[in-house]
Structure formats: structure tokens, C-alpha cells
Chain A
Amino acid sequence: AQSVTQPDIHITVSEGASLELRCNYSYGATPYLFWYVQSPGQGLQLLLKYFSGDTLVQGIKGFEAEFKRSQSSFNLRKPSVHWSDAAEYFCAVGPYSGGYQKVTFGTGTKLQVIP
């Protein structure tokens, strides 16, 4: 069965510091990987997605993620965090097509940004 592990439940970083959120997945075929962000009181918004090509993928809001097949990881990074990045971040894995009914979401990492 497919699964996603986000080992950090909470992370606190200082504004301006770099950020890395971890995501490990288990998937029996070529995975389609996503990072979504949920701001307080809001729905989820797609940051970036990856299926093939360059293993470093750029997303919105200055985020990037690196796919490492050998480590089954898809970690999210940002060089300099802004206070507005405080939110909960979800990694997800699924097939390339066929709808989101086959996509598994991780349990999320809540990011706190301190001045």
C-alpha cells in the first residue's frame, strides 16, 4: 500500500532562516508527488508537483522541492522564510492520472515562524 510520512509534526524557524520540510513516501510505481499548503482557516493550495524531469522542481511562493528516488524522499525547501509562510504543509503521493481518489496525503507539518 502507498504511504506518505512527514516525520516532523511541528517546526519552528526564525524569519529569514532557511527551511526544509521532510517527506518520505512508499509507492509501487513511478510516483506523482505534491506539496500543498494550508493557511489558517483556509483550504489546501498546491505549491508544486513532480512526476518526471529535473529532480529539483520550483513552485509558487519561492518554494522548491527535490526528488530523490534512492531515498524515497521529496523534501520541501525555502531559502528564506517569511512570517506569512506560517501554515501547515502536506506532502502527497499518487499515480500520474486517474484522479485524486488514489492520492494519499501525509499527516502534515505545522510551521511556526518567529520574529
Chain B
Amino acid sequence: NAGVTQTPKFQVLKTGQSMTLQCAQDMNHNSMYWYRQDPGMGLRLIYYSASEGTTDKGEVPNGYNVSRLNKREFSLRLESAAPSQTSVYFCASSDILRGSGNTEAFFGQGTRLTVV
């Protein structure tokens, strides 16, 4: 089982450039998430998709857009990168079982993005 796969693993961008981070999960989960991780700040939610066809803003959505391409794939786009977007980005997926609580969230290995 691959779990959650993110590409690329590393990326350096110049200020103003755009890029898309890709994420795919093979666990048939309904919900997918994008987080950023900064030193001393833990994980902060950027956007999420509770189910295929829906997306919603999280805590820090400014400067980002997302697309839930299908049930497996959830991409994050930076339209005009800024140095403040230098961070490690994680994609995650989880499910909600009827009559039960939140299942374990599975995380990708992360994308380390530097904006210069």
C-alpha cells in the first residue's frame, strides 16, 4: 500500500512563480487535507475537501487554491509564490465511518518548498 503520495519532495521557486503540489491517496478515503508546517507552529490547515466535489478553506488559505480532481487526488496551487510560503507542506486523508468517529489520518511524506 502506497498510502498518501506527494510530489515533488523538494522545490525551490522564485518569488512570483507558480506551481502545483500533487497529492494522491489509494485508501478510498472521502476526506483530504493540505497542511503547512512551520517551526514552532505545528500543523496549520490550508484547505480541505470533505468529499469529492467539495473544497473549503482552512485556517491559512490566502495565496493558495486547491482542486479535488477525483476521489484519489487533491492538488494545491500557489499562483504567485511569496517568501512567506516557504514551508513544508503535507497532504493527508481520512475517513468518517457511519456510527463511528474520525479514523486515523494518513499523511504524505511532505514537500519542502523554498521561495527565494
Contacts and interface: CB of A to CB of B under 8 A. Distances in A.
Most buried by B among A42, A44, A103: A44
A96 interface: yes
B102 A9 contact: no
Nearest to A44: B107
A90 B43 contact: yes
A20 B2 CA distance: 32
A100 B105 contact: yes
A50 B115 CA distance: 39
Interface of B is mostly: strand
Contacts of B40: 9, 107
Specify the main secondary structure of chain A where it touches its partner: loop
A64 to B, nearest CB: 17
B110 A101 contact: no
Interface size class of B (residues with CB under 8 A): 20 to 34
A101 B107 contact: no
Contact of A99 (B4, B90, B94, B108): B94
A61 to B, nearest CB: 14
Interface in B57-116: 58, 90, 92, 94, 96, 100-102, 104-110
8 contacts: A43-B4, A43-B108, A99-B48, A99-B102, A100-B94, A101-B56, A107-B41, A108-B42
Interface of A: 4, 9, 32, 41-46, 49, 51, 90, 94-101, 103, 105-108
